[in-house]
Structure 1
Amino acid sequence: MLTADEEALRRQEELAIQQEVLSMGMFHSVGDTTFDMGAILRMDPALMSLKVEELDAMLAAELADLDSLGGPDFGMPMGPMGGRMGPMRGMGPMGGMESMEPFPNQQPIPPVPPVPEDAPVVKAVLVAPTYQSSKHNMPLLGRLDVLLGSVGALEDIQVALQHAKVRTPELKILTDATKPGGWAVTHEAPTRKNILNSMKWLVQDAKPGDNLLFFFAGHGGQSRDTDGDEEDGQDEHICPVIQGQHPKFAAALEGSLEREEADDLLGRPISDDEIFEQMLKDLPEGVRLTTIFDACHSQTMADLKHSYEVHVEDEEMARARRQEPPPPGFNFDKRPLICKELKGKQCAASVLCLAGCKDRQTQQTWCDQSGPSMRGAFFLTNMLAKAIGGMRTPNPSYADVLREITRDFYRGNRLNMSIPSFSTSSAVDLDAPFSLVGPLG
């Protein structure tokens, strides 16, 4: 039960979120290029018949409806560097509003069972920026749009850990999101320096039998590969926050600071090469590391050699983009998995990477409507918590989890379809029970 002061603070945050939505409008910048998201949306077949005024009115009505539901927090449109707002109401072929049955993935996460005191231990780092201080057009980055689903992402990953029956006595949280009652541990800002230091802390003194987890829910991007280790010529990266309020920020922009300090203030992205160097390169055999990247362009964020995804037909992808419901008998339960060997790097440890989309795809945040009010969340993390919690399949295997989150991506993405995936340091038995501890196989 919130106190009167906490309730007032919560309402103040709700109003700030609504103002943020309205102020951002339909235009997003990346470098010198500005994207008209209204024009992009109108290219969707379900919206092509709408006039500009009708589209604006529809979006305004959607925001008003969110306000009437008392939603304290929801995923923002991220623009070209990120995903898009979670599912709107069903759009008929002529752009008219029509009712839709609730998505299966709008069911609540199953209740969390007690974690035994002797449960396995996982050392964990959880990173979820909101980018509320990052409203600057930066070289390469463009504008990092605010992501207000970070609170939900951090809540969901901690529920997922409990469902996985593990304890996290060593836990670091990096976020600039606020939450009534605070976080489970003292948190740090998700700056470039702090994220890199948290990676070092995570793997420091790791020995065989240790179980580690690195979680990131935020903006991801791509830049030109400079060392020839990428099949598509693009490095992937995660985006720290830009410290726009720092007194030395202007000096960093002018180039009068040392490179390392300037990179930290300007939020220079952390590339997949740096991620591998910091966390994976020197991990010894017998260590288990799980990485989760709920971000755009994330499939090869850990630079691993083996990749697994659910086979999705081109027509199914097209149907999803047209916002059409699944065909009769649609089911992912026995869908074949695609196994690929990538141009990854050698790693002695057992490493599993869960990614929200392919390297060329964008990811979306999520309006979770499964509780008494809307809240912001990140799509992969929310669906992962439900899959691990056995919402459909008790004691799921790796294959079960991958099929379930892929099916939910298909059913829940209203404006774009992205394909989640696993990648691993060595071949894995996908029929083995899903676990965050121990060897992969």
Structure 2
Amino acid sequence: MLMLTDCSSCRTPLQLPSGASSVRCTVCRAVTPVALAPAPAPSPDNGLLSFGQTPSVSGRKRAVICGVSYKGTKFELNGSINDANCMKYLLVNTFKFPESSILMLTEEETDPKQIPTKQNIRTAMQWLVQGCQSGDSLVFYYSGHGSQQRDPTGDEVDGYDETLCPMDFKTKGMIIDDEINATIVKPIPHGVKLHAIIDACHSGTMLDLSFLCRMDRNGRYKWEDHNPPMGHFKGTNGGEVICFSGCDDHQSSADTTCLSKVTSTGAMTYAFIEAIEMGHAKTYGDILTSMRTTIRKIESGGAHSSLLGMLFTRGRHGGGWKQEPQLTASEPFDVFTKRFSL
């Protein structure tokens, strides 16, 4: 079982070596003492989520899907839960993920462990990577508010940490990109593939991956090195992590009624699903190009019949919006030859 403790200084979750009396944080380098205790007897409520137990064979598929609507607050979003349901449908019906291996976190769930609180999202991320092995395919999807805060550790190129906002972020705080990276990026071993799909404001580098694909409107691109200037390691344990996000770090993401004239979804989520369903997902470059084309048509009110007049003119973070989907990765690759698969 994966055992973690929060860093005593920066609160990043740290994996505990077996029998260790202390552990050093890879982010701020602080040493956190560990209180050793006898192993508890197994029980259904002990440890990580027991939901969605997966087979022990190689080649498993597992996903965490978070849709946070902030219902009843001034931060309420119309499309996030719909996003989550659409993504589950896509994973099950197009990519053959077993329903039993998909953990849903929305305010509509009846199990208290599946409400998208800060602690439950943290636990779900731990569950996602627990025991992963070569051949596994993992997906982390999030639709909700995203934000930024000043980086206190000096490991961000732009000086800001990106953050996810759980439903209780006003009282419990946000989940910063350093923690996301430490929890679901660093543990990924050789042969395991993790895709993250983040439909939120300020989400361009939400996983703190080492490389960002800068692509112009003609399809010319280059990988921008985002390795931390202070030298903190943000890579994997040999595996591959690729992230599609709704917008650049300084941009907002919007809600849209494109999938239904009466139901909202995130514009990025719609564009991602449309790229796949329209056959524009042969390569990662194809998906990114298709998503950006769709978003530009929405923004301009162009001649995409199902999109005309259907976009909410507010970002998920409030106010006007402009967004350009982004692609980041743990290692650079040729985006127009690498085949996309989940």
Runs of 4+ in 1 over 4 A off after TM superposition: none
CA distance in 2: counterparts of 1:272 and 1:226, whole angstroms: 12
SS in structure 2 of the partner of residue 237 of structure 1: strand
- Once the two structures are TM-superposed, the CA of residue 151 in structure 1 deviates from its matched residue by 2.8
C-alpha change, 1:392 and 1:210, in structure 2 (3 Å) is closer
SS in structure 2 of the partner of residue 296 of structure 1: coil
Is 1:403 equivalent to 2:289 in the alignment? yes
- Once the two structures are TM-superposed, the CA of residue 163 in structure 1 deviates from its matched residue by 5.8
C-alpha change, 1:165 and 1:186, in structure 2 (3 Å) is farther
Report the counterpart of residue 95 of structure 2 in structure 1: 165
CA distance in 1: counterparts of 2:172 and 2:70, whole angstroms: 10
Report the counterpart of residue 329 of structure 2 in structure 1: 424
Mapping 1:303-382, distance limit 5 Å:
303-312=208-217, 335-343=219-227, 345-347=234-236, 348-368=238-258, 370-371=259-260, 373-382=261-270
Report the counterpart of residue 154 of structure 1 in structure 2: 84
CA distance in 2: counterparts of 1:265 and 1:361, whole angstroms: 22
C-alpha change, 1:224 and 1:375, in structure 2 (3 Å) is same
SS in structure 1 of the partner of residue 66 of structure 2: strand
Equivalent residues of 2:60, 2:135 under 8 A apart: no
SS in structure 2 of the partner of residue 202 of structure 1: helix
Specify which structure has the higher proportion of helix: 1
Equivalent residues of 1:124, 1:202 under 8 A apart: yes
TM-score normalised according to structure 1 size: 0.55
Question: Which one-letter code corresponds to 2:286 in the other structure?
Answer: D
TM-score normalised according to structure 2 size: 0.70
Bigger relative contact order, structure 1 or 2 (CA pairs below 8 A, ≥6 apart): 1
- Quick one: percent identity of the two aligned structures? 30
Report the counterpart of residue 239 of structure 1 in structure 2: 165
Mapping 1:16-165, distance limit 5 Å:
121-133=60-72, 135=73, 145-162=75-92, 164-165=94-95
Equivalent residues of 2:108, 2:115 under 8 A apart: no
CA distance in 1: counterparts of 2:208 and 2:279, whole angstroms: 31
Report the counterpart of residue 226 of structure 1 in structure 2: 152
- Once the two structures are TM-superposed, the CA of residue 306 in structure 1 deviates from its matched residue by 1.4
Looking at CA atoms only, which structure, 1 or 2, has the larger radius of gyration?
A: 1
CA distance in 1: counterparts of 2:272 and 2:287, whole angstroms: 7
- Once the two structures are TM-superposed, the CA of residue 162 in structure 1 deviates from its matched residue by 4.2
1:41-77 deviations in whole A, cap 9, x for unaligned?
xxxxxxxxxxxxxxxxxxxxxxxxxxxxxxxxxxxxx
Report the counterpart of residue 51 of structure 2 in structure 1: none
Aligned match for 2:184, one of 261, 275, 279: 279
CA distance in 1: counterparts of 2:170 and 2:329, whole angstroms: 33
- Once the two structures are TM-superposed, the CA of residue 213 in structure 1 deviates from its matched residue by 0.8
SS in structure 1 of the partner of residue 197 of structure 2: strand
Equivalent residues of 1:410, 1:417 under 8 A apart: no
1:358-415 deviations in whole A, cap 9, x for unaligned?
11111111122x54x42110111111111112x153x521111010001111111255
Report the counterpart of residue 49 of structure 2 in structure 1: none
Mapping 1:190-269, distance limit 5 Å:
190-242=116-168, 266-269=171-174
How many pairs were matched up?
A: 257
Equivalent residues of 2:134, 2:191 under 8 A apart: yes
- Once the two structures are TM-superposed, the CA of residue 209 in structure 1 deviates from its matched residue by 1.4
Report the counterpart of residue 50 of structure 2 in structure 1: none
Report the counterpart of residue 203 of structure 2 in structure 1: 298
Question: Which one-letter code corresponds to 2:178 in the other structure?
Answer: D
SS in structure 2 of the partner of residue 266 of structure 1: helix
C-alpha change, 1:379 and 1:163, in structure 2 (3 Å) is farther
CA distance in 2: counterparts of 1:186 and 1:271, whole angstroms: 23
Unaligned runs of 5+ in 2: 1-58, 229-233, 301-312, 314-320
Equivalent residues of 1:176, 1:190 under 8 A apart: yes
C-alpha change, 1:409 and 1:272, in structure 2 (3 Å) is same
SS in structure 2 of the partner of residue 388 of structure 1: helix
Question: Which one-letter code corresponds to 1:172 in the other structure?
Answer: L
Report the counterpart of residue 7 of structure 1 in structure 2: none
